Structure 1
């Protein structure tokens, strides 16, 4: 018995040592990368990037306007706010304490004092570094929720309660809506490459009702929104929203279904490419069917550890025939895809596990060849002067790069 006990204890000791060593290596590698990133960012100059103007298109009963430059988007969002007659619903993961952030607050406060019902949601965790004075200084006439999912001791043991509100929405009078990747802040207005969409028409009512449903779940009963927008089926535009509390994540399924139907091309742009096995398999199988699969990611994002974890997928993608392209002009924050010149999606969900199976997200799905042509034009603009990897050059990257990727690999399941 004693030798067996000693043997059991020795195995436990070895496993414990291996675990501690692995975790220490991951923490150490991540710390070094973040330090290097901080030094790099301190000396980096923000610069503008190529972008194009796209005209409004008609899709069914709705008019759609695609944005790829924040200043244009913010101008039209503020114009929509200024022309509101009845209601303004606005939701943002991040809301910066800067010129753009204050500009939105000022316009919203003016409309609230005029009698327009203004409702604001932003994520408390996403704005941890934003000064409390900014977050607490919204006009009293504005209805406000600082969303936090964990607000009791019992929530700590419920994994559903760790989901963040990562949605970015603006809906005015139930008729004009904005949805996409843009948060609110001056940096995003000029120096981040992102994608957003304006919808004018009956499809906005569905987005408005999505906001109302989320608000009423999170607010006190005496502050509920009583207005109801009638939902309807639209053959050209559909809305998909992740609901962490109900464990429903239709955006991931939407992507997989669309990728599985692809016959000619898949043009995917995403800020944080850390797909789960099913998503990655769907992309690889499409490439094996000779579909032209192209993935555009930021060559240097605002999360250096995620960059390195994302790059650990590149070898597998390249070997499967997927083209991997690095955007180098700015931080690429878009979350879009267009397939076969027919199907497109624009929204808030990244292609990582936090968005696929965690956070509250929202994407719009569009069936329109005219809109898909605009998405293809935008993708062509973004990839005109970017870095396209080849299997040969990627496999020749330095050994210490490969080692760092290998060390960080286990963190895939947390991203």
Structure 2
């Protein structure tokens, strides 16, 4: 990673899923004057997606250049009719690794980023996709997730990066951006085929170097050996470790697989909390109230070795403390899982289901991660 720093941040704010995120996104599109980049895993054509599409079409009528890259699997349902309409309006659109092509059926590497850049100045990055479930409805709360909005020259290198992704060109290193008198902001990438392991490395280093407290929000929490080893070291160093995990999941087998790990996690003196008010989709960590990462990266092997991921890492006591307050409120609304409560609700059949789910999930991860494929230039 380039260590050259630039003073380029005018403002930085935490954004959470629901109306908060989507009102910001609509305003960013409405304010755009020259160029918008959207790279996202899921873009549903429901009420929420339709509102964003309308905003993008209005921006196109203002002669704003728009580039959209959607994942070919996550946004598989995105209609050809809508794609034609967008292209007719001059909006640049393509799928990242389409599921089907003339020569193959393709699973492999997926674009899991959730990144929006406007006018090389405004950045919205996190784990939130464009769909009703992330906005919420009258009957259901939004899936719990987070993003960060940044404004300033920090957007310039990220816009250049997004343009290179769209055009399938070489992607330049994104520089670290300094926060005057406080710390830094870094855009971290994971793309195993491109030898990018920055997010995994940052998690491991930050966990190992923790001194007091680690709070992790972990949807689809199935960390690999290196992350588990880092958490074990932190535990031995008397670091307080709190995990906010899914009580409700859109992938029940993965939740069951995570439950299989609970006994091991308790051996390392971790505090476990399950969020039961909506689906937990967030991927974030705060270390010692100083260092925060938020983004698309899940603590599992799919994010480590298969998907293309992007997180923002922020070394800022002010920002981290603000996020910590929100996480403390989430913890207060979550169900604490203890060895005693786990024992009470763990029947022989549930233990067997958890074990089976864990083994099957690991097998699926291996198949998807290492399935041979040749599309290296997406």
Query: Does TM, normalized by the shorter one, top 0.5?
Result: yes
Deviates more, 1:390-399 or 1:133-142: 133-142
Q: Partners of 1:176 and 1:116 in 2: how far apart?
A: 14
Q: 1:357 to 1:155 in 2, by over 3 A?
A: farther
Structure 2 unaligned spans of 5+: 1-6, 137-141, 179-183, 366-378
Q: Does 1:368 align with 2:306?
A: no
Q: Partners of 1:233 and 1:92 in 2: how far apart?
A: 23
Q: 1:243 to 1:76 in 2, by over 3 A?
A: same
Deviations 1:211-254 (A, max 9, x none): 12211217xxxxx9xxx999544240111112243232221111
From 350, 353, 359, give the equivalent of 1:404: 353
How many residue pairs match? The answer is 346
Task: After TM superposition, give the deviation of residue 149 of structure 1 in Å.
Answer: 5.8
TM-score (norm 1): 0.78
Task: After TM superposition, give the deviation of residue 151 of structure 1 in Å.
Answer: 6.7
From 169, 175, 178, give the equivalent of 2:124: 178
Counterpart secondary structure, 2:32: coil
Query: What's the C-alpha RMSD, in Å, of the aligned pairs?
Result: 2.3
Would you say the 8 A contact 1:65–1:199 is kept in 2? yes
Q: Partners of 1:246 and 1:308 in 2: how far apart?
A: 32
Would you say the 8 A contact 2:8–2:154 is kept in 1? no
Would you say the 8 A contact 2:243–2:271 is kept in 1? yes
2:143 maps to what in 1?
A: 192
Counterpart secondary structure, 2:193: coil
Counterpart secondary structure, 1:125: coil
Q: Partners of 1:229 and 1:138 in 2: how far apart?
A: 28
2:139 maps to what in 1?
A: none
Task: After TM superposition, give the deviation of residue 155 of structure 1 in Å.
Answer: 7.5
Task: After TM superposition, give the deviation of residue 131 of structure 1 in Å.
Answer: 4.5
Would you say the 8 A contact 2:71–2:98 is kept in 1? no
Task: After TM superposition, give the deviation of residue 137 of structure 1 in Å.
Answer: 3.6
Q: Partners of 1:251 and 1:80 in 2: how far apart?
A: 27
Q: 1:316 to 1:379 in 2, by over 3 A?
A: same
Write 1 or 2 for the structure with the bigger share of strand: 2
Q: Partners of 1:376 and 1:137 in 2: how far apart?
A: 43
Where does structure 1 differ by over 6 angstroms across 4 or more consecutive aligned residues? 150-157
Q: Partners of 1:363 and 1:152 in 2: how far apart?
A: 30
1:42 maps to what in 2?
A: none
Task: After TM superposition, give the deviation of residue 284 of structure 1 in Å.
Answer: 1.9
From 230, 237, 241, give the equivalent of 1:289: 237
Q: Partners of 1:362 and 1:61 in 2: how far apart?
A: 19
1:280 maps to what in 2?
A: 228
2:153 maps to what in 1?
A: 202
TM-score (norm 2): 0.86
Q: Does 1:349 align with 2:309?
A: no
2:280 maps to what in 1?
A: 332
Counterpart secondary structure, 2:196: coil
Task: After TM superposition, give the deviation of residue 138 of structure 1 in Å.
Answer: 2.4
Q: Partners of 1:73 and 1:215 in 2: how far apart?
A: 24
1:314 maps to what in 2?
A: 262
Q: 1:154 to 1:282 in 2, by over 3 A?
A: farther
Task: After TM superposition, give the deviation of residue 135 of structure 1 in Å.
Answer: 4.6
